[in-house]
Chains A and B, each alone.
Chain A
Amino acid sequence: MDNAQEHIPLHDHKILVANRGEIAMRIMRACCKLGTAFTAIYTADDAASGHVRLARELGGEKSLYRVSSYHDANELMAVADAAGCTAVHPGYGFFAEDFRFARRVTKRDRKLIFIGPSWKIIRELGDKINTKRLARSLDVPTVPGSDRPIYDELEAERIAKTVFEFQEQQGIDHPLVLVKASAGGGGMGIEEVYDPDQFRSVYRRIRNYALRQFKDEGVLIEQRITDFNHLEVQIVADRSGRSPVHFGTRNCSIQSSGRQKRLEVAPGFAPEALSYTFDADRVLRDIVDYSLTMARKVGYDNVGTWEWIVTRKGDPFLMEVNTRIQVENGVSARIARVRGQGDIDLIAEQIRIGLGEPLGYGQADITFDGLGIEYRLIAEDPNNNFTPWVGHIEQFTWKPQPWLTMLTHVPTDEQYEIPTEFDPNLALAIVWGKDLEEAKARGLEFLRDLRLTGHNATGEPLQSNVDFLKTSTERILRF
């Protein structure tokens, strides 16, 4: 095990917070809770961000460094050494799922702990095809189709035929098969097939495209699922890798047109309040069990999220595993209790177990209470393809409530210029209610009381997704 080092108590560690904005702030606060020192970084563009201010407030000696870029690993390592850090927390995005970075951190001369799964696990689960193969070997359902690149036309046709047949058996009206270049990415070299007779010509086109573009003619064939809910399971495991637990499920089906999450709900379904065309309790139980089975198999040793597609028939398919803390971890923490105690902080748990502490509790100790909604407040125009909006924010206030948690890096007491280098995420608002109705009512109340105004350089008013979130609240957890 790479991270097996001699045991150092938490308060003798120092963590490099290798991220920005909201997540950097949550990591710093978690460090303070644990009594662990930290060092934060920022770029010239980001000097007005709340994470810089918080680092000055909470940080001790050598706790804030200006760097040239968050994407430069040399910069992070140099700061870690200069500040005397013992561990690196990558947050989400940037280096969070980069196994090469995680490996470098743990294997360099001055070794550091990577607060995340060990690099081998990131490498194993970061590869979607590999994850799919692993899932199948454990009888975990995955999207029907190939689990390796196909190079043979006859084999490709055989797979496409079974995928079409499978959908007919499922009673799907318009079966769709997806053909994609195995080496592709970012939406390049993907085509849908509506008609089995068209398959061969599409297959050849994609194969030739892949050979030209990626010098690899391998092609993947999958079922294209159009009518589904996006669920996920929060897994937490300590460095022993032997006893992973789950912190419940989340429903992340409300997304932008570019398939980015905008609203997350925990738990994943609400069968006591809404009726579903399938046994929702059973689906939630199944995806949790499948996720834990896989986590145990690979010896998963930090926090991670198993992402699932659930069809209208109630069939779950594993989509991918995110080997990092996610934006929406807070909504799961909000409804969770450990031995009856609330106020769970999954980021603090991640750091604690990442530094080698045992988890200290089992699944039986974790209970859930009520329902949480997380709203992602973003400066964007939902009516125009969610185009990001840039400008300065003049007023950003909300009414404090006992059931509301606001996570934001946007200062509320001075104007803030949205940096153009990053996505214009402004805040995460987590609302809790004892049941679906109460959570929805409180969510709407929060959105109604929110004041968010600003202007851009040409004097046009700020655009945000607040109205989109309001209308979306109505359809939470409905399928």
Chain B
Amino acid sequence: MLDISVVLDEIKAQPFREITIKTPHTGTVTFADIRQGDKVQGPQGQWKEKPGTLIATLERERNPKPIYAGEKGEISVLHTELEGRFVEAGTSLAVVRHPLTRAEVEHIILRKALYLFPAPERAKYYFTPDVDKKIRASDAHSVAVREGMELLIMSRMKREVPLHYSGPSGVIYSVYFKYNENIDAGSPLIGVCPQDQLPAIQDVIMRVQTEWTERD
């Protein structure tokens, strides 16, 4: 079993994540009134309905597109040289040094503690309708998986094939793919927790909740 104290110490030594803010499409960049070193906020509100700090506006075909910080943190790099220029899709505008939140620390630890079922091919993945219904009705924890179970649909090149689960039996603890997103071969799709380890995992989560203090 994973030594939670060691892992937590490792994370504490490096409690930041660098997030690159890229342009979603082409356009002409106008930066908001921000500077390197400024603190920015991620989306806020009960349902994250308030967008984060405005980083820049990307204008294309007379449509301005606001680009917000996706997480809170500090601007460590700002590509002000792009001001007023037409840029390609996927151009880096800024880098945010983001202090890890509890949820993210949990995520890191879970990825080490859970059994990760990987994507066999680069493709889009969906849960089978039965499983999908169950997850929508309650949550992923309610779905028990076992070897050979038809769990996912793998979709690529306009064709769909069923994907069977292989690995230890347990419940789905984490889901690592999003709807309509391409997943690379080898990247995890779901994290599975064997039934008997469930108390141990919940213990880990408990410890993160109490021991990790979020920075502003």
Interface status of B79 (Cβ within 8 A of chain A): no
Residues of B within 8 A of A364 (CB): none
Which of chain A's residues have a CB closer than 8 A to the CB of B182? 45, 420-421
What is the minimal beta-carbon distance from B148 to any residue of chain A, in angstroms? Answer: 17
Indicate if the CB atoms of A44 and B121 lie closer than 8 Å: no
Determine whether the beta carbon of A74 is less than 8 Å from that of B63: yes
Q: Which residue of A lies closest to B61 (CB)?
A: A74
B207 within 8 A of A: no
Also in contact, A458 and B88, with CB within 8 A (given A67-B25, A74-B60, A390-B156): no
Contact string against B for A residues 399-429, beta-carbon threshold 8 Å, 1 for contact and 0 otherwise: 0000000000000000000001111100000
Q: Give the nearest-CB partner of B25 in chain A.
A: A68
Counting CB contacts under 8 A, is A77 at the interface?
Answer: yes
Give Cα A428–Cα B105 distance, bound, in whole angstroms: 51
Of all chain A residues, which has the CB nearest B155? Answer: A420
Complex CA gap A337/B186 in Å reads: 53
Q: Which of A57-98 contact B (CB under 8 A)?
A: 65-69, 72, 74-75, 77-79, 82
Complex: how many Å from CA A424 to CA B122?
A: 14
Q: Determine which of A65, A77, A423 lies in contact with B157 in the assembled complex, contact meaning CB atoms within 8 Å.
A: A423
Q: Cβ of B88: which chain A residues have Cβ within 8 Å of it?
A: 65-67
109-157 of chain B: CB within 8 A of chain A: 120-123, 156-157
Q: How large is the interface on A (under 10, 10 to 19, 20 to 34, 35 or more residues)?
A: 20 to 34
User: Is B70 close to A, CB under 8 A?
Assistant: no
Given contacts A420-B122, A420-B182, whether A75 and B157 have CB atoms under 8 Å apart is: no
Task: Assess whether B86 is interfacial by the CB under 8 Å rule.
Answer: yes
Partner of A68, one of B24, B86, B120, B157: B24
Q: Assess A68 versus B122: contact at CB under 8 Å? Given A74-B60, A390-B157, A424-B157.
A: no
- Could you tell me if A77 and B61 are in contact, using CB atoms closer than 8 angstroms? yes
The verdict on A457 contacting chain B, using a C-beta distance below 8 Å, is: yes
A10-49 Cβ-contact flags toward B at 8 Å (1 or 0): 0000000000000000000000000000000001110000
Distance in Å: Cβ of B56 to nearest Cβ of chain A: 16
B121 close to A65 (CB less than 8 A): no
Question: Does A387 have its Cβ within 8 Å of any Cβ on chain B?
Answer: yes
CA distance A67 to B26 in the complex (A): 6
Give Cα A72 to B26, complex, Å.
11
Determine if A44 and B123 form an interchain contact, defined as CB atoms under 8 angstroms apart: no
- Per the bound structure, the CA–CA distance linking A77 and B89 in Å amounts to 14
B residues near A43, Cβ cutoff 8 Å: 89
Mostly, the B contact residues are: loop
Mask, B90-124, CB within 8 Å of A = 1, is 10000000000000000000000000000011110
Q: Does B27 contact A (CB under 8 A)?
A: yes
Of A44, A69, A387, A390, which is in contact with the most chain B CB atoms at under 10 Å from its CB? A390
The reply on B11 being an interface residue by CB < 8 A is no
A217 CA to B25 CA in the complex, in Å? 41
| C-alpha gap A420/B120 in the complex (Å) | 13
* Distance in angstroms between the alpha carbons of A68 and B22 in the assembled complex: 11
Given A78-B61, A387-B159, are A72 and B25 neighbors across the interface (CB < 8 Å)? yes
Contacts of B63 in A (CB 8 A): 74
- A65 to B26: give the CA distance in the assembly, Å: 9
What separation, in Å, do the CA atoms of A142 and B128 have in the docked complex? 44
Residues of A within 8 A of B122 (CB): 390, 420
Contact A457/B121 with A67-B25, A68-B24, A387-B159 known, Cβ cut-off 8 Å: yes
B121 and A66 contacting across the interface, CB-CB below 8 Å? no
CB contacts (< 8 Å) of A79 on chain B: these are 26
CB neighbours (8 Å) of A387 from chain B are 159
Q: Which of A421-460 contact B (CB under 8 A)?
A: 421-424, 456-458
B198: A residues at CB distance < 8 A: none
Q: Are A75 and B89 touching (Cβ within 8 A)?
A: yes
| Extra 19 A-B pairs, beta carbons < 8 Å, given A66-B89, A67-B88, A69-B25 | A44-B90, A65-B88, A66-B26, A66-B90, A67-B25, A67-B26, A68-B26, A68-B89, A68-B90, A72-B25, A74-B25, A74-B61, A78-B27, A388-B156, A390-B122, A422-B157, A456-B121, A457-B121, A458-B120
Which B residues form the contact surface with A (CB < 8 A)? 24-27, 60-61, 63, 86, 88-90, 120-123, 156-157, 159, 182, 185-186
